[in-house]
Structure 1
């Protein structure tokens, strides 16, 4: 054979070797592509190697070792669509919140190198396979928030490297296997919200490294075991909503690092052990709804870090000890439904951080102290069903954030102060006292008559400058209401009948459909046949029956409807009278115009609309968890909205606003960003809504325009108080308020004003975080919280030019997050306002420097 032929063959073989990827790479690429977890725009890009796909990384040998998708893509489909046996090098698999279904495939058990497995927040069913014991390198296992059933396999006890185990929010039953006691490296054990029963096994007392134990919302029985005192590293102990009985063990006082203790809704009896006073780091103490008796021990006065105390629905007696009023960091104090007695001292004014105070259904007496006016952050006050006397303190008027006030069933007398000057007050009950005089007009207009009944000397103020007794109004009010309801019902039914006739003879003024689908299945298209959609809407809401109404907005009512295809939608319907108002009509059409131009996963999706003078409505995807505002004000839902979800929520909102300001075909400013307009779906994901006041930006000329002030009080940029010039920096300020509200758990209020006038030097970050949540347990979450607050403070700058753009904020979230140079508890708001970012190791994040426009 000639030398030329040999050289040719050699070069051919070399080209084949170089050109063809190794077999394992071909199989990995095939597994990724066949899973259909990535969109065609990624898999179809022949110039993009799979190692560069979003959420995929490879090791030094080019083999896939990480898949990190979370909510980057809504994968959907079945978890078994991925052939895990073809990914032998996989060490990190994060598929949280990706809408996956099906069972956990046995192929996952072949991933012997896996250290991190997160399948949480999906719709997985079936049992947890015992073969997970083969994942001998596993350190983190999260399968929470699915529909996994059956018992916990004892084989889990073989995963001796496991540090974090979360099986919460599933349908698991049976008992906790004794083998869990072998997991000596375990730091976090979460089995909450299942159907587990029996007693806590003795073997759990061996897990002395644990920081978090959450067995809440199950059917555990027996006493709380004394060996719980062995877990001296615990920071969070949640045993609420079970069937534990007996005494609270005094050994609980050994848990010196404990910050959160929740034992509510069990069958505990006896008194509070004195040893709880040794828990010097305790911030949350919840013993609500048990059978505890006796007095509050003086030893609890040592717990000066406490911010949340709930002892309600027990049989506690005696006066409140004076130390209660020295717990100056309290934000939540609930003692209702006990047998406490005595008066409330003026020292209550020391609790300047208090947000919620509930002392109802006790035996308190004396006057309500005027010092209650010092509680400037107070949102909820319930002193009902006691023996309070004297006048309603006029100082309540200055509590600007007060939203709920209940003083009913006491012996209060005198005049009613002008409480409605508190713009957030939406619930009021002053019934069954001895109040007298005229009911302030603004209260009559804002609250039902039941808020004032049982006060014989109260009366309305008549417009003719005469007075008429309240009792006569009460007597006739139901008749007027009944007549009004009948009259309005007749009008609604008649109008709907006429509209249905009209739709047969005249076209609904809608955009012509791109496609036409029967049975109202228009959810995949923007423009639809008005007649078909209209008929489905009428049937689904029974002619907009009030029982389907779930709220009222700025210019219409919102209804929930389930269409023939099974889809639930939200309907915003403009009332007929408002439809005749040009300003309402303009806002309604404005919302349609802008939402039909927007395509972003964190902006509410408009499925359809009907624009006709006789009947106007918009059709949205339905948000099961309502608004962020309501979720943060519900203690149960607020806890469900944990730190990770809050971080995602703020980031998603930032990305949506960045898209609106900078990436839209026609950039726009929202003008009404508030927690009421951030809606949450069933997975607590955020969507920006309510585009009725949105205006387009013209970046080719000036990004400013003059308009009437729009927005929600408390979220409006301060410069609008002296100018009507609106630009995207107004949205930036509102975003800053929402971001702070999400982290604090309430409207930031005074904190914002303090920061606008001073450095915030004395305010520590961990002091202002929502006390209903434990401190973040993951460093990545802690870093994200610090970054969010830092960016929020920049957004709240009084000078609009000093605020970042939403694009800069969005990029800061996407940039690599550097580690914290200081302990989380050592970071102050002043440091977060400091541009040098001294709280980070190595300086600012890749996108957090230079955020100012100046």
Structure 2
């Protein structure tokens, strides 16, 4: 047998070893079947064979080295299987090979240098594998080769200059690897090239002028690299070129007018660079263009009228530049155009009526410009239109009724203008409308009738208008996720139909004239996150069914007519962070109704009819941060001392009640408190001596019985007592003397009792330090821990300086004047105990970690009372509080913020890559970045995340903080290093923006496309504008942060890569105005 051709069947199973006996075979083709298993070693016997084709099967395993014995082989096709392992270097013996096709497998390792011996090759394709390492220099010997494809691998290093010797090369595909360095200028010798694909690598430096010699090119793609400098003028010679892609680089300077000579060009992609100057009017010569993408640069000046000559355009995107002037009337000629994007420029004037001639248009985005005038009714001719974005301009007048004839319209955004009049009644006549945003206008008139049953709606924003109408029949929206109709003139009742909107996450209809009761069906909205019905005329009791909303974090029912008690079911809202029930007629707190809402950050119950004592259980809400307002009620009795446990609280208002007694002295330890109002009560006695009281005005304590102390305007406490003469003074004397006498008697009895004892009693400190495991500074742990107990008064709340997800932190100042932070670890919720030996071993390991930007773990203590970790104390507090404090935030200038960011990324790289076992932090947030007085930053809580997950039981509990969580944690609990990298990206944004970027990140998730944002728009407005060099550094750092926010973990850099790139932030181009440069963020 000399020829065995079985290709194109459905043979399955393995290839028989016995075929290796057919030593006279000259052609063996088993391709395009379903063959599995490995290639037989016996094929090495087929030494006469010139053709061996096994492609398009399901073969696996390693390729036999014996194939290197087939010295007569001319064609070897193994492509499109699942072969793995290294490419055998014995292939270098096959010197007669003209075609070697190995693409579409899982080959790994390096490319053998020996392949450079195959000087007769005419096709070499190793693409779509997992090959690593560099491209062999020996490939420069393959001078007969017309096709070389190495794309879609993991190749790295520099491209050999020797490839410039392949003078017969027509196709060179190196795209989608991690190749770096400059593009060799020797590529200019490859004058037969028709396709040069280098996109998706890390090439840097400038584009060689020599590429302009490749006059036969039909495809040139250098996109998605780090190329800098200007576009070569010599590219004007590439007149055969239909495709030129240079997008996603760092190119700068002006675009050469010579590109207007590329008369065969069909695709020109220059987007997402820092190109500047005017768009060349010579582009009007490129009449074959179907796609012109210039977005995300710094182009200025007007849009050339000549672009109206490009009648074959199917995509035109000039968005995110600095273009000025009006939209050319000539754009009306682009009748084939389905996409026109001009958003985020500085365009002015009116929308040309001629745009109504673009009958193929599907997407029109003119948002975020300075366009004026009315919206032309000719846009009603665009019957294919699915997306119309006109938001954030200066349009006025009515919304054309013709908009209602756009039957295919899915997305309409007209918010942020000065539009008036009614919305078109037929806005959803086509039944396809998904997004409608018209907020922030002066719209009036009735709600569009077509919206009542518009089941396609997903997102609606109509807030801040003057829209009228009865909403009683609304609510049949099975796809609705978000709706805000607040601050209008709507009336009627909430329909029970709203309970059928099972995808709803936000329902806000505040500041209207709604009446009636809240339908209990709202309790069926299991995914609801925000419910705001405040400032209406709703009445009745708050439905207990709202307790089913376990995902709700914002509930606002303020300024209504609700009565009765707060239902105890509210306590089941485990995610609730903001609760505002103020300004109603509520008169009772059902037992346990609020105390279980442990995530509450804000609680407003003011201006109701609550009576009796303030519930002491409110002191358990340790996460209350923003505000606790119980003012304008009828609370009586003393202020519960338990409220001092709200150590994170910023503002406390208990004014306008009937409270009596004294202000608890423990309030002086509420370190985060900045505002307190206790006016209009019956309080007496001294005001606690602490910063918040010292800085308060007397108005915050006026109209009480008799307060005295540190507040300016209050009498000193001594004079206050002395001024109360007669019987009042006598009462005080008695009240002061009798307890003292009783105390003396009690002390005497105790002394007698102790004298009677034969054995001395142990002190509390001794009890605490019994049977404890210590490891502190490698010294007498028990003695040191006794000092810590004394310094913290046995971990009294007054020494508590913070409460986090893992435990409470106490400040311990020892007799030696050393200060430490002591964390008391929260016990595991399921009651399981950590293995003591494993716990101790992990702690001992963590104590060996030393990095200047990681909080030092000095030691630990383990006892029946709990486990304690002893850390370095950082005087500057955490980054979150620093950014919220305007004075300290201004001290945190750009230079310091840059250094903080570098401190954090260096520490993170150390944890991920330099520890013997990589440490995933799991909770990189501004709360866990601590500062010293010089603003040196350290990561805290690095150890707690590790030791509390020794046995995996605490896995879910440690899944980070909302707002910093990587998107993949929505469907997996597997916390990886890349989750930390995502959190770091959020942290960098927070650091330079000055506050958490929650709204910004939400806008990215809603955009469904990559976003280009000007650097200046991201900077903390409290600081002065950075100088040019500082702006350059911040630009490069935020660009890295954007990479960290990639939704796919595999696309994020490692912490080491981020650290390296941030530490060597080179200029992204000469003479670039970085302050106004665009940073590209992914769609989340």
TM range (shorter): 0.5 to 0.7
Aligned to 2:321: 98
> Is the 1:359–1:382 Cα contact (8 Å) retained in structure 2?
yes
Could you tell me whether the CA contact under 8 Å between 1:236 and 1:774 is conserved in 2? no
Whole-angstrom CA distance in 2 between matches of 1:441 and 1:679: 21
SS in 2 for 1:324: helix
Please say if residues 66 and 93 of structure 1, whose CA atoms lie closer than 8 Å, have aligned partners that are also in contact: no
Q: CA deviation at 1:295?
A: 1.4
Aligned ranges 1:275-286 → 2 under 5 Å: 275-286=497-508
The 3 A distance-change label for structure 1 pair 178 and 301 is: same
Normalized per residue, the structure richer in helix is 1
Output the CA distance in 1 between the equivalents of 2:1045 and 2:1056: 14
Match of 1:119 among 335, 342, 359: 342
Match of 1:156 in 2: 379
Separation in structure 1 between the aligned mates of residue 298 and residue 1000 of structure 2, nearest angstrom: 34
**Offset at 1:249?**
4.8
Question: 1:283, CA displacement in angstroms?
Answer: 2.3
Does structure 1 conserve the Cα–Cα contact (< 8 Å) formed by 2:300 and 2:322? Answer: yes
Query: Is 2:584 aligned against 1:391?
Result: no
Corresponding residue for 1:690?
897
The 1:227/1:319 distance shift into structure 2, 3 A limit, reads same
Counterpart contact for 1:419–1:443, Cα < 8 Å: no
d(CA) in 2 for partners of 1:338 and 1:815? 41
- Report what 2:639 is aligned to: 415
SS at match of 1:203: coil
Q: Would the aligned equivalents of 2:602 and 2:628 in 1 still touch at CA under 8 Å? A: yes
Shift of residue 328, structure 1, vs aligned partner: 1.7
Conserved? CA contact 1:308–1:771, under 8 Å: no
- What is the RMSD of the two structures over their aligned residues, measured on CA atoms? 5.5
Per-residue deviation, 1:358: 0.2
1:300-326 CA-to-partner distances (Å, cap 9, x unmatched) read 333333221111111111111221112
Which position in structure 1 is the counterpart of 2:539?
317
* Contact residue 260 and residue 774 of structure 1 kept, 8 A: no
Q: Deviations over 1:788-818 (max 9, x none)?
A: xxxxxxxxxxxxxxxxxx9999499399988
The 1-side partners of 2:1046 and 2:897 are apart by 32
For 2:709 and 2:1046, locate their aligned partners in 1 and report how far apart those are by CA, in whole Å: 67
Inter-CA distance 434–80: structure 2 relative to 1 (3 Å threshold): same
The answer for the alignment partner of 1:341 in structure 2 is 563
Asked if 2 retains the 8 angstrom alpha-carbon contact of 1:168 and 1:192, the reply is: yes
Residue pair 1:268, 1:291 contacting (<8 A) in 2 also: yes
Q: Which residue of 1 aligns with 2:579?
A: 357
Contact 1:98 1:122 in 2 (8 A): yes
- Name the counterpart of 1:144: 367
Contact 2:649 2:672 in 1 (8 A): no
In structure 2, the CA distance between the partners of 1:145 and 1:46, relative to structure 1 (3 Å rule), is same
1:182 Cα offset (Å): 3.0
Alignment of 1:420-499 (within 5 A): 421-435=645-659, 436-439=661-664, 440-442=666-668, 447=673, 451-460=677-686, 477=711
Alpha-carbon distance change, 262 to 687 in structure 1, aligned in 2, over 3 angstroms: farther
* Pair 1:220–1:313, CA change in 2 (3 A): same
Q: CA deviation at 1:25?
A: 13
SS of 2:680 mapped into structure 1: coil
Q: Secondary structure at the match of 2:325?
A: strand
Task: Report what 2:1043 is aligned to.
Answer: 813
Q: Secondary structure at the match of 2:535?
A: coil
Alpha-carbon spacing, 1:816–1:450, altered in 2? closer, same or farther (3 Å)? closer
Partner residue, 1:236: 459
Aligned-pair distance for 1:448?
6.7
Give the whole-Å Cα distance in 2 for the aligned partners of 1:257 and 1:325: 23
- 1:53 matched to 2:246? The reply is yes
Distance, in Å, in 1 between the alignment partners of 2:305 and 2:1002 is: 36
Aligned to 1:606: none
Write the distance in 2 (CA, Å) between the matches of 1:335 and 1:193.
Answer: 27
CA shift for structure 1 position 687 = 8.8
Distance 1:442 1:95, change over 3 A: farther
Q: CA deviation at 1:673?
A: 6.7
Give the match for residue 423 of structure 2. 200
Asked if 1:42 corresponds to 2:230, the answer is yes
Residue 336 of structure 1 deviates from its aligned partner by 0.5
Alignment of 1:753-772 (within 5 A): none
Quick one: distance in 2 between partners of 1:463 and 1:160?
71
Summarize the Cα distance change of 1:81–1:398 in structure 2 as closer, same or farther, 3 Å threshold: farther
- Between 1 and 2, higher relative CO (CA 8 Å, sep ≥ 6) is seen in 1
C-alpha contact (below 8 Å) 2:650/2:674 kept by paired residues: no
Q: Pick closer, same or farther for the CA change 1:184–1:238 going to 2, 3 Å.
A: same
Correspondence for 2:518 among 296, 319, 322: 296
Look up the match of 2:1077.
none
**Structure 1 residue 402 corresponds to structure 2 residue 624:** yes
Structure 1 CA distance, aligned partners of 2:683 and 2:245? 77
Conserved 8 A contact 2:342-2:365 = yes
Alignment counterpart, residue 366 of structure 1, candidates 588, 599, 605: 588
Q: Is 1:183 the counterpart of 2:183 in the alignment?
A: no
CA-CA distance at 1:87 after TM superposition: 5.3
1:169 is paired with a residue whose SS is: coil
Distance 2:482 2:606 in 1: 29
Determine helix, strand or coil for the equivalent of 1:150. Answer: coil
| Contact 2:685–2:708 (Cα < 8 Å) also in 1 | no
Find the counterpart in structure 2 of residue 63 from structure 1.
266
Larger Rg: 2
> What SS class does the counterpart of residue 206 from structure 1 fall into?
coil
| C-alpha distance in 2 between matches for 1:676 and 1:79 | 44
Q: Deviations over 1:169-220 (max 9, x none)?
A: 2211121212223322211011112222222223324221111112222222
The answer to whether the 8 A contact 2:652-2:677 is kept is yes
Q: Answer yes or no: is the 8 Å Cα contact 1:808–1:848 preserved in 2.
A: no
Following superposition, the deviation at residue 335 of structure 1 comes to: 0.5
Q: Name the SS for the 1:200 alignment partner.
A: coil
**Following the alignment from structure 2 to structure 1, what is the Cα–Cα distance between the partners of residues 399 and 687?**
65
**Aligned 1:506-521 pairs, distance under 5 A:** none
Tell me the equivalent position of 1:581: none
> Shift in Å at residue 165 of structure 1?
0.7
**CA distances 1:734-782 after superposition (whole Å, capped 9, x unpaired):** xx9999526799xx9x99999699x9xxxxxxxxx98996995665579
Q: Which runs of 5+ in 1 are unaligned?
A: 1-14, 30-37, 482-659, 661-669, 681-685, 724-735, 760-768, 783-805, 819-836, 838-843
Aligned partner of residue 385 in structure 1, secondary structure = coil
Cα distance between partner residues in 2 of 1:198 and 1:220: 5
In the aligned structure 2, how far is the partner of 1:849 from the partner of 1:742? 16
Cα distance 1:679–1:347, how it changes in 2: closer, same or farther (>3 A)? closer
User: 2:683·2:706 contact (CA, 8 Å) conserved in 1?
Assistant: no
Distance 1:238 1:460 in 2: 51
Distance 1:55 1:64, change over 3 A: farther
Distance in 2 (alpha carbons) for counterparts of 1:321 and 1:740: 28
**2:966–2:1047 CA contact under 8 A, matched in 1:** no
In structure 1, distance between residues paired with 2:524 and 2:372: 44
Matches for 1:498-577 after TM superposition, within 5 Å: none
User: How far off its partner does 1:365 sit?
Assistant: 1.1
* Kept in 1: contact 2:496–2:521 (CA 8 A): yes
How many Å separate the matches in 2 of 1:697 and 1:329? 32
Which moved further from structure 2: 378-387 or 172-181?
172-181
Q: TM-score, normalised by structure 2?
A: 0.44
Task: Count residues in correspondence.
Answer: 553
Give the Cα separation in 2 of the matches to 1:25 and 1:315: 75
Give the C-alpha shift of residue 253 in structure 1.
3.3
